[in-house]
Amino acid sequence: MLDQSTICAISTSPGVGAIAVIRLSGSDAIAICDKVYESPKTGKLLADQAANTLHFGKIVSNDETIDEVVIALFRAPHSFTGENIVEISCHGSVYIQQQILNVLVENGARLALPGEFTQRAFLNGKMDLSQAEAVADVIASSNAAAQKLALNQMRGGFSKEISALRDQLLHFTAMVELELDFGEEDVEFADRSALRILTEEIEELLRKLKDSFQLGNAIKNGIPVAIIGETNVGKSTLLNALLNEDRAIVSEIHGTTRDVIEDVVNIHGTAFRFFDTAGIRETEDQIENLGIERSYSKLEQATVVLLVVDTHNSFPLVESRIQKIRERIAPHQTLIIVANKIDSGLRDTIQQIEVMELTDNEKAVFIAAKQKENLQELIDYMSHSINLEEAEQQDVIVTNARHYEILKNAHEAILRVLNGLDMQITGDFLAQDIRECLHYLAEITGEVGTEEVLGHIFKNFCIGK
């Protein structure tokens, strides 16, 4: 099943640079490179050189020198992919890079698919799947917190956690199976209270990992912020003010914003992912209704919900809207009531919002979006919605949506075990749910899985990685 071909790709970013690196990986990497490489000084083949050495020479095609290069040599299994690797550092002209790639292909290499080097590293056992996935996250990391998380995961932080979990689960099955051996004699070898303690530990670990995704996702992709509110209250104006550009359409016609607009901005080093959503109101317009549906679904995904209200409106109207949204806010979400248009709003409405009773996860701020007044206070509240210090303390934080989905399944399976213990079901049924849980964990590390999953993961990598 393992593809034996030798692959090549430009591994530095596309375009002109001072130097570019072309990478070759596969059993024939060294032999293929030798066909186009000449060392004027030593005359030696790369095949006769030691591993982990650098060589100056030139790449030649039809007696024409394409470029003077430096070559790095790695020998299987001691390389990134676990295969022979040759890295050619050439001058960074796009033409030269392309020419070198061409001669390599002419001499038996084939162009690598996106992520194929990393995929090979995985298939050759250099790293597990969660580590391979983290390689992409390291490359994409754009802030210190995201970089730290991704690097930790690439180094196997998450894999260690998963393997600890698996050890616990195996211990559990061993206990249950031992009991099954004694089944006839009706002994309860695996005493139920010990089993229960173990299951609860596993459940807690899984829950901890699963719950860390909200934080992990916020760090990796920005804190998700939904901007909601009736039409014409100033949502788009607020978004534009926060983004500092005219990203969303602002108009006086109600229902201008029909779709969800997404934008990531870095405000004082914290990334926020904004969804400006269609105004929520009863409407006959079908397209607008679709947008409103989507607003509600986005609300669930948000860590911070900005409910924009128009202080031109009477307080009872504003209050009833707040009430409706409150019902949809989960305990882990922060609801910020953004009282807008304070430049010309009703004094009575403003005062009544000021004295409203708020719960722990609610805040109220008073702004004029159009005049960009008091935005800082709003930004501060949004920043405080995630706890970066908590992230620093936690060993492992799940940042990958695929892992999160799997962990949810694994957690459900373990809850079934707990339930099974309550119902005093037999050991063989308990073992079945445990095995399911084990299976899920193996999906994270890639010990089980389909080609389809692999294909999906690596196709989102860049070429040359």
Ligand X SMILES: Nc1nc2c(c(=O)[nH]1)N(C=O)[C@@H](CNc1ccc(C(=O)N[C@@H](CCC(=O)O)C(=O)O)cc1)CN2
Radius of gyration of the chain (CA): 29
25 vs 4: CA distance, rounded Å: 10
Q: How far is the CB of 247 from ligand GTP (least distance, A)?
A: 11
25 vs 48: CA distance, rounded Å: 18
Tell me how many helices (H) and strands (E) the chain has.
16, 13
Residue 368 interacting with ligand GTP (CB under 6 A): yes
Q: How far is the CB of 138 from ligand GTP (least distance, A)?
A: 38
Give the binding-site size for ligand GTP (rule: CB under 6 A): 24
Determine which residue in the list 341, 363, 403, 416 makes contact with ligand GTP, applying CB under 6 A. 341
* Residue 257 touches which of ligand GTP, ligand X, none (Cβ within 5-8 Å per kind): ligand GTP
Region binding ligand X by CB under 6 A among candidate stretches 70-78, 158-166, 223-231, 295-303: 70-78
Determine which residue in the list 17, 114, 157, 255 makes contact with ligand GTP, applying CB under 6 A. 255
Binding mask 74-93 for ligand X (x = CB under 6 A): x--xxxx------x------
* Residue 233 touches which of ligand GTP, ligand X, none (Cβ within 5-8 Å per kind): ligand GTP
Region binding ligand GTP by CB under 6 A among candidate stretches 102-110, 200-208, 233-241, 326-334: 233-241
What phi-psi label fits residue 232: left (phi over 0), alpha (psi between -120 and 50 degrees) or beta? left
Residues 97-136 that bind ligand X (CB under 6 A): 126
Q: How far is the CB of 338 from ligand GTP (least distance, A)?
A: 10
Residues 279-308 that bind ligand GTP (CB under 6 A): 279
Reference 427, options 184, 152, 94; nearest CA is: 184
Q: Where are the beta strands (DSSP E) in 247-395?
A: 261-267, 270-276, 304-310, 334-340, 362-366
From first CA to last CA, the distance across the chain in angstroms is 21
Q: Which residues pair with 55 in a beta bridge?
A: 71
In terms of C-beta density within 10 A (0-12 exposed, 13-18 middle, 19 or more buried), how is residue 310 classed? Answer: buried
240 vs 128: CA distance, rounded Å: 43
389 is in an annotated binding site: no
Q: How far is the CB of 144 from ligand GTP (least distance, A)?
A: 33
87 is in an annotated binding site: yes
Q: How far is the CB of 141 from ligand GTP (least distance, A)?
A: 33
* Residue 173 touches which of ligand GTP, ligand X, none (Cβ within 5-8 Å per kind): none
Residue 440 interacting with ligand X (CB under 6 A): no
Give the binding-site size for ligand X (rule: CB under 6 A): 7
Count of all residues that appear for the chain in the document:
465
Residue 235 interacting with ligand GTP (CB under 6 A): yes
Reference 214, options 303, 275, 336, 328; nearest CA is: 303
40 vs 217: CA distance, rounded Å: 53
Distance (Å) of CA 66 to CA 59, 151, 422: 6, 37, 73
Helices (H), 244-342: 286-301, 315-326
Point out the annotated binding site for K(+): 232, 251, 253, 256
Give the binding site for ligand X (CB under 6 A): 74, 77-80, 87, 126
Give the binding site for ligand GTP (CB under 6 A): 229, 231-237, 250-252, 254-257, 279, 340-341, 343-344, 368-371
